[in-house]
A = this chain, B = another copy of it.
Amino acid sequence: MSNQAPSSVMNPVFILVEPQMGENIGAACRVMGNFALPELRIVNPRDGWPNPKAETMATDSPVLKQAQVFATLEEATADCQTLYATTAQPRNMVKPVHTARGAMSEIRGHIEGGQRVGVLFGAEKSGLPNTAITISNAIITLPVDRKFSSLNLSMAVGVLAHEWRAGDPAPGDFKPLEDRASVQELQGLYTHLEEELDRAGFFYPPEKTPLMMQNLINIFARGGLTQQEVRTFRGVIKTLAIGRGKARIERE
What is the count of identical protomers in the complex?
2
Q: Which residues of B contact A216 (CB under 8 A)?
A: 232-233, 236
Q: Is the CB of A168 within 8 A of B143?
A: yes
Which residues does chain B contribute within 8 Å of A155, judged by CB atoms? 27, 30-31, 34, 154-155, 158
The reply to whether A174 and B243 form a contact with Cβ atoms under 8 Å apart is no
Question: Secondary structure at chain A's binding surface: helix, strand, loop or mixed?
Answer: helix
* Closest B residue, CB atoms, query A143: B165
Please tell me if A53 contacts chain B, counting CB pairs below 8 Å: no
**Could you pull out 27 A-B pairs where Cβ atoms are within 8 angstroms?**
A31-B152, A31-B155, A34-B142, A34-B148, A61-B148, A62-B148, A98-B174, A99-B171, A101-B166, A144-B165, A158-B158, A158-B159, A159-B162, A162-B163, A197-B239, A199-B247, A200-B246, A202-B239, A202-B240, A215-B228, A219-B225, A219-B233, A222-B224, A237-B240, A241-B243, A244-B245, A245-B247
